[in-house]
């Protein structure tokens, strides 16, 4: 369900433009999919954080790999909960992702 966002990154080189596309597409889908709005919002925020961090900044191959792994982990958690989980499991996944994002430093 949400793995398509990871596929976009892999197909387009996992750079700033690909993350920007993911953020935009996720945000646009929110208005058309109320049942998935919270998950799509978190995916959008996650992708946008990458854009904010690396737009006009150097991105090493190592950093790109770590960021793709992080994004894939977040999307995978949401994907599994929404594909197979109960309402409680979905909420738990949303809370886990939100907590993970909240623990990350804010860019200045």
Residue 41: CA atoms inside 13 Å, Cβ hemisphere, count? 10
Number of Cβ atoms within 10 Å of the Cβ of 42 = 23
- Give residue limits of the domains in the chain: 3-103
Q: What is the share, in percent, of the chain residues with pLDDT greater than 70?
A: 97
Taking 70 as the threshold, does the pLDDT of residue 84 lie above it? yes
pLDDT at 108: 39
pLDDT at 107: 54
Dist. CA 86–CA 101, nearest whole Å: 23
pLDDT at 105: 73
pLDDT at 26: 97
Count of helix runs (H) and strand runs (E) in the chain: 5, 0
pLDDT tens, 12-46? 999 999 999 999 999 999 999 999 999 999 999 99
* Mean predicted confidence (pLDDT) in 53-60: 90
Dist. CA 62–CA 82, nearest whole Å: 30
pLDDT at 91: 97
Dist. CA 85–CA 50, nearest whole Å: 28
């Amino acid at each position: 369900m949400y793995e398509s966002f990871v596929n976009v990154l892999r197909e387009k080189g996992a750079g700033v433009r690909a993350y920007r596309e993911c953020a935009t597409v996720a945000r646009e889908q929110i208005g058309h999919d109320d049942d998935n709005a919270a998950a799509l919002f978190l995916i959008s925020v996650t992708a946008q954080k990458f854009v904010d961090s690396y737009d006009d900044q150097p991105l090493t191959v190592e950093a790109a790999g770590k960021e793709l792994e992080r994004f894939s982990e977040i999307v995978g958690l949401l994907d599994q909960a929404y594909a197979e989980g109960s309402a409680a499991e979905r909420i738990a996944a949303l809370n886990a992702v939100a907590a993970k994002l909240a623990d990350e430093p804010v860019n200045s």
